Amino acid sequence: MRKPVSGGLVYSTDSGRMCPVCRQPLGACVCAANAAKAPAGDGIVRVSRETQGRGGKAVTVVRGVPLDEAALAALGQRLRRACGAGGTVKGGVIEVQGDHADRLLEALKAEGYAVKRAGG
């Protein structure tokens, strides 16, 4: 999130109170919406393999990708295509069916993300 500009416009007789960050009327301010969309994290994407709660089937899970929902869905589709497997994107987490951790590590590194293998 951007920092407020010191000495910026705070009130306008035309539109009322103004946002100190984007300098838009408070009714049209998008700062809060953009802040809510930005995922919190340390900037490292973690790839792990999970089987719990899936009947023993392995699923590779990618967490910590700093993207909004639409971009995350597109990345998930590219990763699933690279592995030739199915999967889903739920709650900011990409799940790819099967044990594809090494393949996903390489694909994410190729896209420019800082990637770590998490868990065993």
In whole angstroms, give the CA distance from residue 87 to residue 26. Answer: 40
Quick one: 33 and 52 in the same domain?
no
Name the token pair of 30. 């998008």
Which residues contact residue 99 at a Cβ distance below 8 angstroms, ignoring those fewer than 6 apart? 49, 58, 60
Quick one: 27 and 49 in the same domain?
no
Q: Give the residue with greater pLDDT, 15 vs 111.
A: 111
Quick one: 64 and 89 in the same domain?
yes
Quick one: 15 and 60 in the same domain?
no
Name the token pair of 27. 């009714």
Quick one: 53 and 97 in the same domain?
yes
Domain that holds residue 15: 1-37
**For residue range 16-75, what is the model confidence (pLDDT) as tens digits?**
777 777 777 777 777 766 655 555 567 789 999 998 888 889 999 999 988 888 889 999
**AA letter at 106:** E
Quick one: 31 and 49 in the same domain?
no
Q: Give the residue with greater pLDDT, 34 vs 112.
A: 112
